[in-house]
Chains A and B, each alone.
Chain A
Amino acid sequence: MQLKRTPILLKANHQETPIAAVDTSTIKIGETSKGIILAIRGATVRKQNRTYHYKRLGPFIFHITEENKKEVYHTLETACFHTQSVSSHQAAPNLMQMPTRLANLLERWLQSVLAKTVTNGLILFDGSLTAGTFDTPVQRLKEILDEARRNGNVVLAFSKMTTLRVNGYLITDLLPEQEPPYLLETAGLQFKPPTVPLGDVYVARLNRASYAFRLDIDREIAHQQKIESIEKLLGNDLCMQSYPETLRLAHILCTFTANEVLAMQHFITRKHGIKMINRPDMHRLLFGPFGKGEGYA
C-alpha cells in the first residue's frame, strides 16, 4: 500500500448541498441468569438551510439468550432488509458480539433509509466502506451505495480510528507540511478476502487542527466528483477538528449516557420484572488492586 505524498488541495464550495449523517450505538445494560440485556439506538442528522435536524430511534432493548439470539437477529434482519444474508445462515453470532451485530443491523438500515430519502446530497457514514464481513455483506453495502448514487448522493465514510499503515506508520500520522484542507490519496490497497473495499481510501485533513481521518469515498464516483463532494462538505458543514459536525452530532445523539443506562435498568426492572445479576469482576476478585477490570489485559 502507498500513500501519495502530493496532497489534493481543497477549496470550500458553498453551493447549497444537503448533508446527512448516521450513527448507531449499543450498550450492555446488564446480565441475567440466562443471557444479557442490551440496548441499541440510532440517530440520523440532516443539515439543510444552515440548521441541523435530527431523528433518533430507540433505545431498543433486547434480552438476548443463547436460545433466542439467532431468532432475534434473523427476525430483525428480515424486518430491515427483507432478506437474510448468506453469512448469517452459517453460524449464530456469539452472545457477546450480539450488541455490535444488532447495532450494525440498525446502522445499515438507517443508511439505506438515508440513501433512499436524501437527493443530491452528501451522506456521511461512521466507519469505512469495507464489506464482506459477517455483519456487512458486500451485497447489502453495495445496494446502499447504488441507491445513494441513483439519488445523486455521494457517500463519505469517516473512520475515527484506522489500522492502515504505510512503512509501519499509521496513514493518519503521515501528514505533509501543507496548509489544510487537503486529501492524501492511497494506492495499491489490498484486503484479504472475503473483505472487499467498496470505497477509495483517502486521508482527510479538513482544517488546521492536527487531526486527520481515514476517509472512504464510494468507488463508483468519478474522481473529480469525489473531490467536489469533499469541497461541498467543507462549504456546507462545520469541520471542527477535521471531523464533520453533522456526523459528530449523530454520534453524540445516539451515544448512551450513564443516566440513560440507569433509566433503562429502572424500566426493565419496573416494567418487565427482569432481575439483573451482578457478576463478580474476576480480575478484581483475584488480583485486588492489581486487577484493573475486565476491559484490561
Chain B
Amino acid sequence: MKLYKKEGNVLHILSFPNENAEKGDYLLVEDQDAGKALIAQVIDVQFACIPGVLEELLRTLPDGGEPIQGEDIDPLEIAPHITYIQDASLLICKIRATLENGLLSPSSSWLPSRSQSTIKKLSIPMLMKLANVNGKLPITLGSTKDASLLTIDASAVDGTLNIITGKKGCGKSHLSKLLMVSLVGYKATVVVFDLNGEYTSLGLTADGKRNIHYDKIHTLTPAQNFKVALEQLHLNVVMGILTHALHLPGTSAREFRRIWKHLKEKGCLTLHELGEAIRNLNCNQHVRDALLSRYHALVNSGFFTDNPAEATLLDECLLKANEQGGAIIINLRNTSTIDRQIVVEYILGKLVDALQSWRLKAVFLFAEEAHLYLRETYWDDIVTRMRHFGIFTTFITNQPDTIRENIYRQADNIFLFNFTNEHDLDVVSRASRIDAETIRSIARDLPPHHCLALGKVVGDFPIVARIRPLDLKTMGETRLFFKNIN
C-alpha cells in the first residue's frame, strides 16, 4: 500500500490486489522519521484511476459487444502485471487518530511522508488495546472480519444513551438481547418495553430448557400478572397517565386531583369509589363526562385493581433485580395503544420514584420502537432528566426517523445495522460521534447480523462486527405462512 493523497482528514491510499483491504478495516500509516503514525479507517474502496484502462476495456469489446476471439503469445508474461496494475484500488480512509509514543490523540494535522511511510493493517484487538477499550466487565459482541472478538466493557453502556438501529430483519433485537442478558449477568437491573413479546422467553435456551438467566428474567404482562392498585399510585403518576396517555384537559384534571385527594384522605381509594365519586361529582356536565370516559379507560385496561395482593409483582421484581440483577420484561404484545401508554407512563413514573428514593441504584431501559408508546415530551426527559436519576436508555428501532435529531446528537453509543435507504442513512448520520460519510459508506454495505458499533463502547473507533449467536429462545422470528410448505 502507498500513501497517495491527504485532504483534510481523508487519506487516499493506493492498494494492490494482493493487499486485500476492505471497508471498515483499520490501517496504520507509520512515518518512522516523524515517530508518529496515523490510524485511518477504510470507508470506501474504489478503482484506482489508472491511465489507459478505458482503452484496455474498450479494445476487448470491439465486435458489437462480443469479446473478440484470439490468442496472446506473451513470452515474458506481462499480462499478470497488467492485471495487477488494472486491479489496483484506491482506499478512501478517514483519519481517526494519531499515535505518538503509544498514546492516541484525535489530531490529523500532520502530514506523513508519502515516500517513506509504511502502511499496514491494524488488527482490531491491537486497536482496542491502543484505545484502552478493555475493562473488568467484558461483553463480547461478536467477531470482526479478521476473526478476532469484539469485546466491549459493560461500563461503557453505563450512564449512556444508546441507539440500536437498522432495517428490518438484520439483527437489532438480537443485539439488544445480547446486551440485556450480559448486563443482567453483571447484576444490573434491566427494564424492557417488549412490544412484540419477543423477550419473554429469554430465560430459556433455544431448545426450551432453563438457562442461567431463568431466575432473573421476570415477564410482566399488563392486566394479567401485572396490575396496579390505586392506593399504590402516587397522584403525579396518575396525573401523568390521565394528561399524557388519556389527554385529560386541564379543568377536568383539576377536578380529578380534588377527587383523588379526597378519597385518599378518606382511605377509600379504590376503583369502585373513584367511579362513584366521579358520577356523583357536582360539576359541569362536560367535565364529568370527560372524567368518566377516562375512568372507564382505566378500568377497561384491566391494569388497575382494588386488590393489593394482585399488585405487588413489579415491586418484588425490582427489589429482586436490584439485589441480584435481573430483567423485567414488560410484555406489551397484546396491549392496545392507549393501554400501552398507560403502562409505560406508570412504569417510568414508578422507576423515577424508586430511583429518587434510592430504592433502585440505576436501571437500564430497553425500549423497542419507542415512538409507539412514548409521548413527545418524554424523549427529552429520558435523555436529560431521567439519565440523572439513573435511567439509561437503549432505543431499538427500524425507523430511525422516529427518533428525534437531538437524541442522535446526544447518543453515546450507536449500534448500526444495514440501511440502504438514503433517507434513513441521512437521519442516522446526524449522530455527533461520527462523520456522515462513514455511516453512509459502511452501513450501506453491512451484511445481515453485522453491526457498525460507534461511540464510547469502541473508544470512538467505528468497528464492524458480526454479532455472535445466543443460545436463547428469542421469539423474535417473523411468523411465516410458507415456512414448512415444500
Interface residues of A (CB under 8 A from B): 45, 51-61, 249, 252-253, 255, 257-264, 266-267, 270
Contact = CB atoms under 8 A, between A and B. Distances in A.
A275 to B, nearest CB: 15
Contact of A259 (B69, B72, B74, B82): B82
B81 A263 contact: yes
Nearest to A251: B59
A55 B69 CA distance: 9
18 contacts: A53-B69, A54-B68, A54-B71, A55-B73, A56-B70, A56-B73, A57-B73, A59-B76, A60-B75, A249-B62, A257-B53, A257-B56, A258-B55, A259-B51, A259-B56, A263-B84, A263-B86, A267-B78
A255 B52 CA distance: 11
A257 B56 CA distance: 7
Interface string B39-70: 00000000000111101100100110000111
A259 B70 contact: no
B67 to A, nearest CB: 11
B70 A266 contact: no
Contacts of A252: 59, 62
A263 B85 contact: yes
Nearest to B66: A51
A58 B74 contact: yes
Contacts of A45: 70
Contacts of B70: 45, 52-56, 253
A233 B208 CA distance: 81
Given A249-B62, A257-B56, A258-B51, A264 B73 contact: no
B213 to A, nearest CB: 59
Interface in B66-116: 68-76, 78, 81-82, 84-86
B12 to A, nearest CB: 18
B56 A260 contact: yes
Nearest to B86: A259
Nearest to B73: A57
B66 to A, nearest CB: 9
Nearest to A259: B52
Contacts of A267: 76, 78, 81
Interface of B: 50-53, 55-56, 59, 62-63, 68-76, 78, 81-82, 84-86
B73 A261 contact: no
B170 to A, nearest CB: 40
B52 A52 contact: no
A55 B70 CA distance: 6
A56 B72 contact: yes
Nearest to A252: B59
B323 to A, nearest CB: 69
Contacts of B76: 59-61, 267
Contacts of B51: 257-259, 262
A61 B81 CA distance: 14
Contacts of A270: 81
B85 A262 contact: yes
Nearest to A261: B52
Going nearest first, the 3 A-B pairs with the smallest beta carbon separation are A257-B52, A258-B52, A54-B70
B19 to A, nearest CB: 15
Given A52-B68, A249-B68, A253-B59, 14 more contacts: A53-B69, A54-B68, A54-B70, A54-B71, A55-B70, A56-B73, A59-B74, A249-B62, A255-B59, A259-B85, A260-B56, A260-B82, A261-B52, A267-B81
B448 to A, nearest CB: 37
A266 B55 CA distance: 19
A266 B81 contact: yes
Contact of B81 (A53, A60, A249, A264): A264
A259 B53 contact: yes
Contacts of A56: 70-74
B71 A52 contact: no
Contacts of B75: 60
Scoring B50, B69, B70, B84 by chain A CB atoms within 10 A of each residue's CB, the highest score goes to B70
A34 to B, nearest CB: 20
Nearest to B75: A60
Nearest to A54: B70
A263 B55 CA distance: 15
Contacts of A258: 50-52, 55
B298 to A, nearest CB: 76
A52 B63 contact: yes
Contacts of A61: 76, 78
B301 to A, nearest CB: 72
B192 to A, nearest CB: 58
A60 B72 CA distance: 12
A38 to B, nearest CB: 13
Given A257-B56, A259-B50, A262-B50, A54 B85 contact: no
Contacts of B72: 56
